[in-house]
Structure 1
Amino acid sequence: MKRTNTAKWIESAGRWQINVQKDGVRKTFTSAKPGRTGQREANAKADAWLEKGIQNRKQTVAEAYVQYMARQMKISSEGNWKPMQGRYNKWIAPRIGDTRLTSLTEQAVQDILDDAFAAGRSKKTIKNIAGDLRSFFKFCRRSGWTTFEPEELHVPEGARFKERTILQPTDIITLLNVDTTLSRGHRVFDEYIHYYRIAVFTGMRPGELLGLEWGDIESGVARLKRSVNIYGKESRGKNENAPRAVILSARSLEELNAQKVLTGMCQRVFPQVEERNIRRAWYRYCDANGIARCTLYELRHTFVSIAANLPTGQLKQVIGHSQNMDTYGVYAHAINGQDKVIAENIEGIFDAAIAAGESTQQ
């Protein structure tokens, strides 16, 4: 049987208490010990009773993970389960892969996160590993293989988010004024120049730009309806806020018009291209023009950093971070004219950033 809950402190009774049920029988387990020690004791009593019904006491983590990943491959995208499998191979399997589910301890699982921290991994990476572990053990409990739940699993306090590299104002001036790259030692036109510029001017994710169609653009607004991941698979986007309206500034519209002249009226704004090809071309462009390399995703961070002074609501709508936003959100803005205000605000912040870059070059 599985335990999906945890002991709660009952103030009036001065004890920890947990209610569990198995085969129609309901039992209550308690502990009067203070603090987390009492909570763990009450949970342990409940687990001991429930574990009498564990289906397979020899099931190892590796054996269970095969079935867990089979489910993930059915219910999630390749862009989600492939990185998950990679994290398992790198961090989880070497430490607990051969361990039986019924023999696991919280410390053994915590050691996985501590190892990643000691190896210098970012806070985001460690949080992803922790999320994988919680999801995996929930699957195992629901499957009746264990009652194990790592209740105190935590990211080490010293973990830090990875430092982001963004374009500086002088880099943006270069990006605006130079449309060539190096190929075999010769200066040639960079066919993805408008992709780089639009990414910086709009804050769209790499896959969102690849999924953008001309039919999605109307009256100065790009309605993002799809995204193409690094494996070339199309989806509705990274999360529930991904489908949205992006207000296009004058610079963004200018780059889109130039892209239309370059490729014609294909269905996609950037037709027949994979993210990895653009990534290689972008690094080549950076090297050819004296720009410190950053990732395509960090072009989005460049926009967010420059647009930090936008009103919070406007910025969240443009980049798709609002938790309560309508699917496209544009309709409300179209009613009250705020789309024009947002476009002008975006144009203004880039004017200021470019002016700062020009003063630095003088």
Structure 2
Amino acid sequence: MKKRTTTAEWQECTKRWRIRVQKNGVMKSFYSSTPGRTGQREANAKADAWLDDSVRDGRKKISVLYAEWVEEKGLTCGTSYKEQCEKYGNYYILPVIGNLRIEDLTEGDLQKAIDTSFKKRCLCKRKVMKNSDKPLSKKTLMTIRSVENSFVKWCRKNKYTTLMPELTIPKNARIGEKKILQPEALRILFSVDTRRWYAKNVFDEYIYAYRFAVSTGVRPGELVGLWYGDIKGNTVNLRRSINTLDEETTGKNENSIRSFDMCEQAREAYEAQVQLLKDSGIQLNYNTPLFQIPCQRSLKRRWEKYQDGNGISPRITLYELRHTFVSMEAGELTDGQLKMLVGHSRNMDTFGVYRHEIKGQREALAAATTAAINKAHG
């Protein structure tokens, strides 16, 4: 129980007892109209009940609770996400708030971790960061905020705090430079299916995976984890992702599990891949990996060779195929449609999305995507 340091005082103007107490940066007043010491005790009791509110030991240091949270994350999330939470805590968050007691944590403390990291980058004295003359990118700052929010949410669930912060990103945060496939490179991708191998052009078995990725905006791990049975008719149901450590997860965030209809280019890539599997004698079961990609590393190496052998320069990463998709869709889809396709919004109502799909939203998305890709590569 958090102890109060004040007692209720009689307010002559309102003829009642009042006490003001603070918890987690929130100030609140409690009253009693009962005269005499009985009223004072009533007001004090109300304040004590609010301060207690079933909150557990508020004297625990945040660094201790953060370590507990990271370990618990490891039970339900992939190793890579657990390591990311640990890294962001050590680099940016804990140097600011780690020595505080959870009962003393305020929204301002959490915001300070973001703002200080923005200017000073890594706050861990034992770590030397590259490009230390540049402020952190907007994406990195957003990740810091996301990690802080997730940690505080865990603290609320475990009755360590009632804090519900509203954190902001500095308006002048640097937007990281990203490359995308330009129209000529898109033309090559959709017309050339070979790569260079010992000075010869050979068929690239992953060509339909590249085309499917740029036509749908799926993440590399989602591409590797896609099964033949995940596609029903024209609908893609993303249910899993294979991370860089070869672990199967449910994806990067709570919106990664999603469904959408394929545009014409994605449909063509899918049908060509299915035919390739049949021609190769691979039996098509529900859990047959659609693109037969063993891991993200293999896909990355092959994609780089495809680009080098076909004159696509500068190289773009597999994840930048996703950026290419988003860039092509700009102006063609509404913000809500685009968030639905790529699984971006943390606050997206999944039930609402499926309800809209039944009314034909996925068909509209597929038609709009077809038009966007046709426009992009002529």
TM-score normalised by structure 2 residue count: 0.67
2:308 is aligned, of 287, 302, 314, to 287
| C-alpha separation in 1, matches of 2:358 and 2:106 | 52
Q: Is the 8 Å Cα contact of residues 236 and 242 (structure 1) preserved in structure 2?
A: yes
Q: Is the 8 Å Cα contact of residues 117 and 126 (structure 1) preserved in structure 2?
A: yes
What is the aligned partner in structure 2 of residue 210 from structure 1? Answer: 224
Q: Is the 8 Å Cα contact of residues 241 and 327 (structure 1) preserved in structure 2?
A: no
| C-alpha separation in 2, matches of 1:310 and 1:209 | 24
| C-alpha separation in 1, matches of 2:342 and 2:108 | 39
In structure 2, the CA distance between the partners of 1:239 and 1:107, relative to structure 1 (3 Å rule), is closer
What is the aligned partner in structure 2 of residue 225 from structure 1? Answer: 239
1:133 is aligned, of 148, 155, 166, to 148
Q: 1:79 deviation in Å?
A: 4.5
Aligned partner of 1:26: which letter? K
| C-alpha separation in 1, matches of 2:106 and 2:238 | 45
Q: Secondary structure at the match of 1:7?
A: strand
What is the aligned partner in structure 2 of residue 347 from structure 1? Answer: 370
In structure 2, the CA distance between the partners of 1:176 and 1:330, relative to structure 1 (3 Å rule), is same
| C-alpha separation in 2, matches of 1:227 and 1:270 | 13
Q: 1:198 deviation in Å?
A: 0.6
Q: Is the 8 Å Cα contact of residues 244 and 328 (structure 1) preserved in structure 2?
A: no
In structure 2, the CA distance between the partners of 1:247 and 1:292, relative to structure 1 (3 Å rule), is same
What is the aligned partner in structure 1 of residue 358 from structure 2? Answer: 331
What is the aligned partner in structure 2 of residue 319 from structure 1? Answer: 342
Q: Which runs of 5+ in 1 are unaligned?
A: 11-23, 29-45, 356-362
Aligned partner of 2:223: which letter? L
Identity score, percent: 34
Aligned counterparts, 1:1-362, within 5 A: 1=1, 3=23, 6-7=26-27, 25-27=45-47, 55=57, 60-93=61-94, 97=98, 99=99, 101=101, 112-118=113-119, 119=121, 120-136=135-151, 154-183=168-197, 187-264=201-278, 265-266=283-284, 267-288=288-309, 289-312=311-334, 314-320=337-343, 323-324=348-349, 325-327=352-354, 330-333=357-360, 339=363, 342-355=365-378
Q: Secondary structure at the match of 1:117?
A: helix
> C-alpha root-mean-square deviation of aligned residues, in Å?
4.0
In structure 2, the CA distance between the partners of 1:61 and 1:343, relative to structure 1 (3 Å rule), is closer
| C-alpha separation in 2, matches of 1:100 and 1:316 | 37
In structure 2, the CA distance between the partners of 1:66 and 1:302, relative to structure 1 (3 Å rule), is same
In structure 2, the CA distance between the partners of 1:270 and 1:186, relative to structure 1 (3 Å rule), is same
| C-alpha separation in 2, matches of 1:352 and 1:56 | 58
Aligned partner of 1:68: which letter? W
The aligned length equals 316
In structure 2, the CA distance between the partners of 1:272 and 1:135, relative to structure 1 (3 Å rule), is closer
Q: Which runs of 5+ in 2 are unaligned?
A: 3-22, 31-43, 122-134
Q: Is the 8 Å Cα contact of residues 167 and 299 (structure 1) preserved in structure 2?
A: yes
Aligned partner of 1:275: which letter? Q
TM-score normalised by structure 1 residue count: 0.70
Q: 1:320 deviation in Å?
A: 4.0
| C-alpha separation in 2, matches of 1:162 and 1:269 | 33
Q: 1:111 deviation in Å?
A: 5.2
Q: Is the 8 Å Cα contact of residues 259 and 269 (structure 1) preserved in structure 2?
A: yes
Name the stretch that deviates more: 196-205 or 248-257.
Answer: 248-257
Q: 1:220 deviation in Å?
A: 2.5
| C-alpha separation in 2, matches of 1:91 and 1:330 | 40
Whichever structure has more helix as a proportion of its residues is 1
Q: Secondary structure at the match of 2:215?
A: helix
